[in-house]
Protein backbone atom coordinates (compact mmCIF):
# COMPACT_ATOMS: atom_id res chain seq x y z
CA UNK A 1 0.00 0.00 0.00
CA UNK A 2 1.92 3.12 -1.12
CA UNK A 3 -1.06 5.53 -1.12
CA UNK A 4 -3.19 4.73 1.94
CA UNK A 5 -5.57 7.43 3.11
CA UNK A 6 -3.84 7.43 6.51
CA UNK A 7 -0.28 6.65 7.59
CA UNK A 8 0.62 6.08 11.24
CA UNK A 9 4.32 6.55 11.99
CA UNK A 10 5.30 4.31 14.90
CA UNK A 11 3.98 0.88 15.85
CA UNK A 12 3.73 0.88 19.64
CA UNK A 13 0.66 0.87 21.87
CA UNK A 14 -0.49 4.32 20.76
CA UNK A 15 -0.38 3.39 17.07
CA UNK A 16 -2.24 0.13 17.64
CA UNK A 17 -4.92 1.93 19.61
CA UNK A 18 -5.49 4.47 16.80
CA UNK A 19 -5.47 1.62 14.26
CA UNK A 20 -8.15 -0.27 16.24
CA UNK A 21 -10.50 2.71 15.92
CA UNK A 22 -9.52 3.49 12.31
CA UNK A 23 -10.49 -0.06 11.33
CA UNK A 24 -14.08 0.87 12.25
CA UNK A 25 -14.06 3.79 9.81
CA UNK A 26 -13.18 1.61 6.81
CA UNK A 27 -10.45 4.11 5.88
CA UNK A 28 -7.30 2.60 4.32
CA UNK A 29 -4.32 2.98 6.64
CA UNK A 30 -0.77 1.72 7.09
CA UNK A 31 1.52 1.62 10.13
CA UNK A 32 5.24 2.20 9.53
CA UNK A 33 7.36 1.06 12.47
CA UNK A 34 11.11 1.14 13.02
CA UNK A 35 11.25 -1.94 15.26
CA UNK A 36 12.06 -5.43 14.02
CA UNK A 37 9.17 -6.85 16.07
CA UNK A 38 5.89 -5.67 17.65
CA UNK A 39 5.78 -3.96 21.08
CA UNK A 40 7.24 -0.51 20.56
CA UNK A 41 9.40 0.68 23.46
CA UNK A 42 8.44 -2.37 25.50
CA UNK A 43 10.84 -4.37 23.29
CA UNK A 44 13.70 -2.42 24.87
CA UNK A 45 12.62 -2.14 28.51
CA UNK A 46 14.79 -3.89 31.09
CA UNK A 47 14.14 -7.57 31.88
CA UNK A 48 12.47 -7.11 35.28
CA UNK A 49 10.36 -4.04 34.41
CA UNK A 50 6.88 -4.41 35.88
CA UNK A 51 3.84 -2.34 35.02
CA UNK A 52 2.30 -0.31 37.81
CA UNK A 53 -1.23 -1.48 37.00
CA UNK A 54 -2.74 -4.97 36.86
CA UNK A 55 -3.41 -6.55 33.46
CA UNK A 56 -7.08 -5.57 33.50
CA UNK A 57 -5.96 -1.91 33.80
CA UNK A 58 -3.30 -2.17 31.14
CA UNK A 59 -5.43 -2.96 28.12
CA UNK A 60 -6.00 -1.42 24.74
CA UNK A 61 -9.48 -1.09 23.26
CA UNK A 62 -11.37 -4.20 22.19
CA UNK A 63 -9.30 -6.96 23.77
CA UNK A 64 -8.23 -6.90 27.44
CA UNK A 65 -4.70 -8.01 28.30
CA UNK A 66 -4.92 -11.70 29.32
CA UNK A 67 -4.81 -12.16 33.11
CA UNK A 68 -1.39 -12.86 34.62
CA UNK A 69 -2.55 -13.96 38.09
CA UNK A 70 -1.98 -11.77 41.15
CA UNK A 71 1.28 -10.21 39.95
CA UNK A 72 1.70 -7.04 37.89
CA UNK A 73 2.39 -7.67 34.18
CA UNK A 74 6.02 -7.77 33.10
CA UNK A 75 7.68 -6.37 30.04
CA UNK A 76 7.31 -9.70 28.19
CA UNK A 77 3.59 -9.91 29.08
CA UNK A 78 3.18 -6.54 27.34
CA UNK A 79 5.20 -7.36 24.22
CA UNK A 80 3.32 -10.66 23.92
CA UNK A 81 -0.03 -8.85 24.30
CA UNK A 82 0.82 -6.16 21.72
CA UNK A 83 2.09 -8.80 19.26
CA UNK A 84 -1.13 -10.82 19.58
CA UNK A 85 -3.25 -7.63 19.48
CA UNK A 86 -1.71 -6.65 16.14
CA UNK A 87 -2.41 -10.14 14.73
CA UNK A 88 -5.92 -10.35 16.23
CA UNK A 89 -7.04 -7.19 14.41
CA UNK A 90 -4.89 -7.90 11.33
CA UNK A 91 -3.38 -4.43 11.54
CA UNK A 92 -1.31 -3.51 8.45
CA UNK A 93 2.21 -2.86 9.75
CA UNK A 94 5.39 -2.54 7.71
CA UNK A 95 8.54 -3.01 9.77
CA UNK A 96 11.34 -2.38 10.17
CA UNK A 97 10.78 0.98 8.45
CA UNK A 98 12.52 4.11 9.80
CA UNK A 99 10.59 7.18 8.58
CA UNK A 100 13.33 9.73 7.90
CA UNK A 101 11.10 12.61 6.86
CA UNK A 102 7.64 13.91 6.00
CA UNK A 103 6.54 16.75 3.74
CA UNK A 104 3.26 18.51 3.08
CA UNK A 105 1.91 18.04 -0.50
CA UNK A 106 -1.07 19.49 -2.37
CA UNK A 107 -3.13 16.41 -1.50
CA UNK A 108 -1.76 15.56 1.94
CA UNK A 109 1.65 14.25 2.96
CA UNK A 110 4.67 12.48 1.53
CA UNK A 111 6.37 10.08 3.94
CA UNK A 112 9.94 8.97 3.24
CA UNK A 113 12.13 6.12 4.37
CA UNK A 114 15.48 5.09 2.88
CA UNK A 115 14.72 4.36 -0.74
CA UNK A 116 10.94 4.30 -0.34
CA UNK A 117 8.12 6.86 -0.22
CA UNK A 118 4.41 6.80 0.53
CA UNK A 119 1.70 9.42 0.12
CA UNK A 120 -1.33 9.85 2.35
CA UNK A 121 -4.10 12.35 3.10
CA UNK A 122 -3.82 12.20 6.90
CA UNK A 123 -0.74 11.52 9.04
CA UNK A 124 -0.55 10.27 12.64
CA UNK A 125 2.69 10.52 14.59
CA UNK A 126 2.84 7.87 17.35
CA UNK A 127 6.60 7.58 17.78
CA UNK A 128 6.72 7.75 21.59
CA UNK A 129 9.72 8.89 23.59
CA UNK A 130 11.92 5.86 24.20
CA UNK A 131 14.32 6.70 21.35
CA UNK A 132 14.95 10.15 22.85
CA UNK A 133 16.32 9.60 26.39
CA UNK A 134 16.97 12.74 28.46
CA UNK A 135 20.16 13.06 30.58
CA UNK A 136 20.77 16.26 32.59
CA UNK A 137 24.24 17.84 32.47
CA UNK A 138 26.46 18.50 35.50
CA UNK A 139 29.85 20.22 35.74
CA UNK A 140 32.69 17.77 35.23
CA UNK A 141 30.41 15.03 33.84
CA UNK A 142 32.63 14.32 30.77
CA UNK A 143 35.58 13.72 33.12
CA UNK A 144 33.83 10.87 34.98
CA UNK A 145 35.84 7.73 34.18
CA UNK A 146 33.08 5.28 35.17
CA UNK A 147 30.15 3.94 33.09
CA UNK A 148 27.20 6.24 32.36
CA UNK A 149 24.01 4.49 31.24
CA UNK A 150 20.46 5.77 30.67
CA UNK A 151 17.58 3.59 31.89
CA UNK A 152 16.57 3.25 28.23
CA UNK A 153 19.58 0.99 27.80
CA UNK A 154 19.59 -0.76 31.19
CA UNK A 155 19.05 -4.54 30.90
CA UNK A 156 19.67 -6.12 34.32
CA UNK A 157 21.77 -5.80 37.49
CA UNK A 158 24.30 -8.59 36.85
CA UNK A 159 27.06 -6.42 35.41
CA UNK A 160 26.89 -4.07 38.44
CA UNK A 161 27.52 -6.75 41.09
CA UNK A 162 30.00 -5.56 43.72
CA UNK A 163 30.17 -2.08 42.17
CA UNK A 164 29.37 1.40 43.56
CA UNK A 165 26.42 2.70 41.57
CA UNK A 166 24.76 6.13 41.56
CA UNK A 167 21.09 5.96 40.47
CA UNK A 168 19.68 9.35 39.42
CA UNK A 169 15.93 9.92 39.04
CA UNK A 170 12.87 9.81 41.32
CA UNK A 171 10.23 8.12 39.14
CA UNK A 172 9.15 4.52 38.67
CA UNK A 173 12.23 3.76 36.55
CA UNK A 174 14.60 5.05 39.23
CA UNK A 175 12.84 3.20 42.03
CA UNK A 176 12.58 -0.11 40.15
CA UNK A 177 16.20 -0.05 38.93
CA UNK A 178 17.51 1.01 42.36
CA UNK A 179 15.50 -1.81 43.97
CA UNK A 180 17.09 -4.34 41.64
CA UNK A 181 20.70 -3.11 41.63
CA UNK A 182 20.86 -2.51 45.38
CA UNK A 183 20.64 -6.26 45.91
CA UNK A 184 24.04 -6.72 44.22
CA UNK A 185 25.82 -3.37 44.50
CA UNK A 186 26.41 -0.41 46.83
CA UNK A 187 23.96 2.23 45.71
CA UNK A 188 23.25 5.90 46.31
CA UNK A 189 19.98 7.36 45.02
CA UNK A 190 19.74 10.98 43.86
CA UNK A 191 16.40 12.72 43.27
CA UNK A 192 15.64 16.39 42.59
CA UNK A 193 12.91 16.38 45.26
CA UNK A 194 12.08 13.86 47.98
CA UNK A 195 10.55 10.87 46.14
CA UNK A 196 6.75 10.65 46.15
CA UNK A 197 5.78 7.11 47.16
CA UNK A 198 2.18 6.09 46.80
CA UNK A 199 0.49 4.21 49.67
CA UNK A 200 0.95 0.45 49.38
CA UNK A 201 -2.69 -0.05 48.43
CA UNK A 202 -2.56 2.51 45.59
CA UNK A 203 -1.42 1.48 42.14
CA UNK A 204 -1.95 2.50 38.52
CA UNK A 205 -5.72 2.02 38.82
CA UNK A 206 -6.04 4.78 41.36
CA UNK A 207 -3.57 6.95 39.48
CA UNK A 208 -5.62 6.54 36.32
CA UNK A 209 -8.85 7.34 38.20
CA UNK A 210 -7.23 10.49 39.60
CA UNK A 211 -5.91 11.44 36.16
CA UNK A 212 -9.43 10.89 34.78
CA UNK A 213 -10.90 13.08 37.54
CA UNK A 214 -8.43 15.84 36.57
CA UNK A 215 -9.41 15.44 32.91
CA UNK A 216 -13.15 15.58 33.68
CA UNK A 217 -12.68 18.67 35.87
CA UNK A 218 -10.73 20.30 33.02
CA UNK A 219 -13.55 19.46 30.56
CA UNK A 220 -16.16 20.87 32.96
CA UNK A 221 -14.10 23.96 33.77
CA UNK A 222 -13.97 23.20 37.51
CA UNK A 223 -11.00 22.88 39.86
CA UNK A 224 -10.04 19.19 40.05
CA UNK A 225 -10.07 17.48 43.39
CA UNK A 226 -8.48 14.12 42.52
CA UNK A 227 -6.61 13.61 45.73
CA UNK A 228 -2.81 13.28 46.03
CA UNK A 229 -0.56 11.51 43.56
CA UNK A 230 -0.06 11.56 39.83
CA UNK A 231 1.18 9.20 37.15
CA UNK A 232 4.81 10.09 37.92
CA UNK A 233 4.60 8.99 41.56
CA UNK A 234 6.21 5.73 42.62
CA UNK A 235 3.96 2.69 42.80
CA UNK A 236 5.00 0.28 45.57
CA UNK A 237 5.25 -2.86 43.44
CA UNK A 238 6.75 -5.86 45.34
CA UNK A 239 10.39 -5.20 44.37
CA UNK A 240 10.17 -1.58 45.53
CA UNK A 241 8.50 -2.62 48.79
CA UNK A 242 11.33 -5.10 49.31
CA UNK A 243 13.89 -2.30 48.76
CA UNK A 244 12.07 -0.21 51.37
CA UNK A 245 12.31 -3.10 53.86
CA UNK A 246 16.08 -3.19 53.19
CA UNK A 247 16.33 0.54 53.95
CA UNK A 248 17.44 1.35 50.41
CA UNK A 249 14.79 3.90 49.41
CA UNK A 250 16.65 6.87 50.93
CA UNK A 251 17.50 9.56 48.42
CA UNK A 252 19.71 12.66 48.55
CA UNK A 253 19.61 15.85 46.50
CA UNK A 254 21.82 16.13 43.43
CA UNK A 255 25.61 16.35 43.39
CA UNK A 256 27.43 19.67 42.76
CA UNK A 257 29.78 18.21 40.16
CA UNK A 258 31.52 15.15 38.80
CA UNK A 259 35.19 14.20 39.10
CA UNK A 260 37.02 11.38 37.31
CA UNK A 261 36.28 9.08 40.26
CA UNK A 262 32.77 10.08 41.25
CA UNK A 263 30.95 13.14 42.54
CA UNK A 264 31.37 16.08 44.91
CA UNK A 265 28.24 16.91 46.96
CA UNK A 266 27.08 20.47 47.74
CA UNK A 267 28.62 20.20 51.23
CA UNK A 268 32.05 19.58 49.64
CA UNK A 269 32.29 15.89 50.58
CA UNK A 270 33.06 13.41 47.80
CA UNK A 271 31.92 9.89 46.87
CA UNK A 272 33.47 7.45 44.40
CA UNK A 273 31.36 5.50 41.92
CA UNK A 274 31.95 2.91 39.23
CA UNK A 275 28.74 3.72 37.35
CA UNK A 276 25.87 6.21 37.04
CA UNK A 277 22.43 5.12 35.82
CA UNK A 278 20.36 8.04 34.53
CA UNK A 279 16.65 7.33 35.16
CA UNK A 280 15.86 10.85 34.05
CA UNK A 281 13.11 10.31 31.53
CA UNK A 282 12.59 10.92 27.86
CA UNK A 283 11.54 13.53 25.31
CA UNK A 284 9.19 13.06 22.35
CA UNK A 285 10.69 11.48 19.20
CA UNK A 286 9.69 13.99 16.50
CA UNK A 287 12.65 14.28 14.11
CA UNK A 288 10.55 12.81 11.29
CA UNK A 289 8.28 15.89 11.47
CA UNK A 290 11.08 18.43 10.85
CA UNK A 291 9.96 18.93 7.25
CA UNK A 292 6.55 20.11 8.47
CA UNK A 293 8.06 22.89 10.61
CA UNK A 294 5.74 22.12 13.56
CA UNK A 295 8.16 21.12 16.34
CA UNK A 296 8.54 23.96 18.86
CA UNK A 297 11.63 24.91 20.88
CA UNK A 298 10.39 22.86 23.83
CA UNK A 299 10.40 19.76 21.59
CA UNK A 300 6.62 19.49 21.33
CA UNK A 301 3.98 20.29 18.71
CA UNK A 302 1.15 22.74 19.34
CA UNK A 303 -2.05 20.68 19.25
CA UNK A 304 -5.77 21.06 19.77
CA UNK A 305 -6.42 17.78 21.52
CA UNK A 306 -4.22 15.63 19.26
CA UNK A 307 -4.66 17.62 16.02
CA UNK A 308 -1.77 19.86 14.99
CA UNK A 309 -2.77 23.48 15.50
CA UNK A 310 -0.69 24.45 12.48
CA UNK A 311 -0.84 21.63 9.91
CA UNK A 312 -4.33 20.29 9.08
CA UNK A 313 -4.28 16.54 8.64
CA UNK A 314 -1.51 15.89 11.20
CA UNK A 315 -2.30 14.19 14.55
CA UNK A 316 0.00 13.27 17.46
CA UNK A 317 -0.93 10.45 19.82
CA UNK A 318 0.55 8.88 22.93
CA UNK A 319 3.14 11.43 24.04
CA UNK A 320 1.80 12.02 27.52
CA UNK A 321 -0.38 14.75 28.96
CA UNK A 322 0.25 17.33 26.22
CA UNK A 323 -1.50 14.95 23.81
CA UNK A 324 -4.15 13.85 26.29
CA UNK A 325 -4.22 13.00 29.97
CA UNK A 326 -2.40 9.68 30.65
CA UNK A 327 -2.02 9.17 26.88
CA UNK A 328 1.40 7.57 27.39
CA UNK A 329 -0.18 4.58 29.11
CA UNK A 330 -1.83 1.49 27.69
CA UNK A 331 -5.24 2.24 29.17
CA UNK A 332 -4.90 6.01 28.94
CA UNK A 333 -4.24 6.25 25.21
CA UNK A 334 -7.69 4.85 24.32
CA UNK A 335 -9.60 8.11 24.76
CA UNK A 336 -7.44 10.14 22.39
CA UNK A 337 -6.94 7.24 19.96
CA UNK A 338 -10.71 7.06 19.54
CA UNK A 339 -11.15 10.83 19.10
CA UNK A 340 -8.24 10.96 16.64
CA UNK A 341 -9.75 8.24 14.43
CA UNK A 342 -13.13 10.00 14.50
CA UNK A 343 -11.54 13.35 13.59
CA UNK A 344 -9.57 11.77 10.74
CA UNK A 345 -12.73 10.15 9.34
CA UNK A 346 -14.50 13.51 9.42
CA UNK A 347 -11.46 15.32 7.98
CA UNK A 348 -11.32 12.95 4.98
CA UNK A 349 -14.95 13.68 4.29
- CB closer to ligand FAD out of 15 and 341: 15
Neighbours of 199 (CB within 10 A): 11
Return the residue of 11, 54, 262, 324 that touches ligand FAD, per CB under 6 A: 11
Return the residue of 5, 33, 77, 180 that touches ligand FAD, per CB under 6 A: 33
- Residues near 222 by beta carbon (within 8 Å), at least 6 away in sequence: none
Applying CB under 6 A, does 10 fall inside the site for ligand FAD?
yes
Return the residue of 243, 330, 337, 344 that touches ligand FAD, per CB under 6 A: 330
Query: Closest by alpha carbon to 189, among 200, 201, 174, 173?
Result: 174
Return the residue of 98, 265, 322, 347 that touches ligand FAD, per CB under 6 A: 98
Applying CB under 6 A, does 207 fall inside the site for ligand FAD?
no
C-alpha pair distances (Å), 191 with each of 118, 200, 253, 330: 45, 21, 6, 26
The partner residues of 234 in beta bridges, in order of sequence, read 197
Q: Pick the piece of the chain touching ligand FAD (CB under 6 A) from 41-49, 136-144, 155-163, 185-193.
A: 41-49
How many residues bind ligand FAD (CB under 6 A)? The answer is: 36
Q: How far is the CB of 139 from ligand FAD (least distance, A)?
A: 27
Asked if 87 and 244 count as a contact pair (C-beta separation under 8 A), the reply is no
Return the residue of 5, 35, 80, 180 that touches ligand FAD, per CB under 6 A: 35
Applying CB under 6 A, does 340 fall inside the site for ligand FAD?
no
Q: Pick the piece of the chain touching ligand FAD (CB under 6 A) from 121-129, 251-259, 262-270, 335-343.
A: 121-129
Asked if 322 and 130 count as a contact pair (C-beta separation under 8 A), the reply is no
Applying CB under 6 A, does 187 fall inside the site for ligand FAD?
no
Label residue 54 left, alpha or beta by phi (over 0 means left) and psi (-120 to 50 means alpha).
beta
* Pairing assessment for the beta strands 251-252 and 186-190 based on DSSP bridges: parallel
Q: Pick the piece of the chain touching ligand FAD (CB under 6 A) from 262-270, 299-307, 324-332, 338-346.
A: 324-332
Q: How far is the CB of 226 from ligand FAD (least distance, A)?
A: 18
Question: Rounded distance, CA 6 to CA 123, Å?
Answer: 6
Pattern of binders to ligand FAD over 278-317, x per CB under 6 A? -------x--x-----------------------------
What backbone phi and psi angles, to 5 degrees, belong to 200? -55, -30
Label residue 46 left, alpha or beta by phi (over 0 means left) and psi (-120 to 50 means alpha).
beta
- CB closer to ligand FAD out of 33 and 263: 33
- CB closer to ligand FAD out of 263 and 289: 289
Applying CB under 6 A, does 9 fall inside the site for ligand FAD?
yes
- Residues near 247 by beta carbon (within 8 Å), at least 6 away in sequence: none
Q: How far is the CB of 103 from ligand FAD (least distance, A)?
A: 14
- CB closer to ligand FAD out of 181 and 263: 181
Q: How far is the CB of 39 from ligand FAD (least distance, A)?
A: 7
Question: Rounded distance, CA 12 to CA 82, Å?
Answer: 8
DSSP state string for 134-199: -----TTGGG--SEEEEGGG---SGGGTT-EEEEE--SHHHHHHHHHHTTTSEEEEE-SS---BPP
Element (H, E) at 207: helix 204-220
- CB closer to ligand FAD out of 98 and 134: 98
Write out the residues near ligand FAD by the rule CB under 6 A.
9-15, 32-35, 40-42, 49, 51-53, 58, 97-99, 126-128, 130-131, 172-173, 204, 285, 288, 318, 328-330
Amino acid sequence: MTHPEVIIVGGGQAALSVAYFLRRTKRSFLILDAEETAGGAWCHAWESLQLFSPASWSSLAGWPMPPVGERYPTRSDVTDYLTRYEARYELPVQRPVWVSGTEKTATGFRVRSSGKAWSCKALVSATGTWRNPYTPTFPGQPDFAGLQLHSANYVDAASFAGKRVLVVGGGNSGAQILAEISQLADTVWVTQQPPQFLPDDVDGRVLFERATERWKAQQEGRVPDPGPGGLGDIVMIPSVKNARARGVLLSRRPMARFTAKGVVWPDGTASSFDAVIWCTGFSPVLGHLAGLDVVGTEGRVAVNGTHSAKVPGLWLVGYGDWTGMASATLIGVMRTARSTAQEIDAFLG
